[in-house]
């Protein structure tokens, strides 16, 4: 047993040494998983477990997004390991949030998309986020504002208006995530129309609604789904 533990420890230290020397650029997905698994699986060779996870979920991303329940079904993956791996995308999202400009200006669909894509990293359920902007379209705040299920969104428009007024904003941009593709559904379009009309009663304009699916996203303004007419985003 001591010899086996020594072999595993030596292999893990070699992986760490490679990372310290050159980063992850030359690591395969299963080698990155080996490195991670070494912190929760201490007494076993993590190489076959890492390969098994990649075979099951297709990629490192697939593993990290699988969720605790599915991960625990894989042989030798216990609750602690499943929790640890599932937590990493949420940590990544927090990192991106703190790395980004804290007060960007969202002047056009491209800037809206760039703002929202990293903010859905790690989400395991559909969620609607709202960005609240001042008169110059600079970010005041953003926050979850509703839930979605089965590629449809559920938003209480009066609550959105209340939250917008509370922040003293002039403009709002909505975004929500899909898990199959970024194409807006009929329900998405209906919710957007209702939100837009409700906000206007308070003198607040809805500039766009972005649908995010992984690293892909669609601006409902740019795609023509926003309404019969497109508001000007750059005035």
Query: In this structure, are 106 and 206 located in the same domain?
Result: yes
Given a cut of 70, whether residue 227 has pLDDT beyond it is: no
Residue 35 domain flag: yes
Query: In this structure, are 23 and 58 located in the same domain?
Result: yes
Q: Which uninterrupted H or E stretch holds 142?
A: strand 139-149
3-class secondary structure, 83: helix
In the DSSP assignment, the letter for residue 201 is: T
Residue 57 domain flag: yes
Tokens read off for 148 = 């979605």
Question: What CATH number is associated with residue 132?
Answer: 3.40.140.10
Given a cut of 80, whether residue 217 has pLDDT beyond it is: yes
DSSP strands (E only) in the chain: 126-133, 139-149, 152-154, 171-177, 205-213, 216-219
Structural domain total, the chain: 2
Give the tens place of pLDDT for each residue, 180-194.
889 988 888 889 999
pLDDT at 153: 64
The range of the structural domain enclosing residue 155 comes to: 102-219
Residue 78 domain flag: yes
pTM confidence score = 0.82
Cα distances (angstroms) measured from residue 19 to each of 9, 25, 26, 59, 188: 15, 9, 9, 19, 44
CB atoms within 10 A of CB 59: 12
Residue listed under structure tokens 């477990």: 49
Give the tens place of pLDDT for each residue, 130-173.
999 999 999 999 999 987 665 556 889 999 999 999 999 999 99
């Amino acid at each position: 047993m001591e010899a086996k533990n020594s072999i595993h420890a030596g292999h893990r230290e070699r992986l760490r040494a490679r990372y310290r020397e050159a980063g992850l650029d030359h690591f395969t997905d299963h080698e990155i998983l080996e490195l991670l698994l070494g912190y929760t699986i201490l007494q076993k060779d993590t190489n076959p477990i890492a390969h098994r996870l990649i075979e099951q979920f297709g990629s490192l991303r697939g593993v990290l997004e699988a969720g605790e329940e599915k991960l625990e079904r894989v042989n030798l993956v216990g609750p602690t390991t499943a929790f640890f791996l599932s937590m990493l995308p949420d940590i990544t999202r927090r990192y991106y949030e703190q790395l980004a400009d804290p007060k960007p200006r969202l002047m056009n669909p491209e800037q809206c998309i760039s703002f929202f894509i990293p903010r859905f990293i790690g989400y395991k359920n559909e969620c609607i986020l709202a960005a609240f902007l001042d008169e110059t379209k600079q970010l005041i705040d953003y926050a979850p504002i509703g839930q979605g299920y089965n590629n449809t969104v559920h938003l209480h428009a009066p609550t959105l208006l209340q939250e917008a007024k509370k922040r003293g904003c002039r403009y709002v941009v909505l975004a929500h995530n899909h898990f199959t593709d970024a194409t807006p559904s009929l329900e998405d379009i209906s919710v957007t129309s209702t939100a837009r009309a409700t906000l206007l009663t308070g003198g607040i304009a809805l500039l766009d609604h972005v649908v995010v699916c992984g690293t892909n996203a669609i601006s409902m303004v740019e795609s023509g789904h926003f309404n019969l007419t497109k508001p000007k985003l750059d005035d």
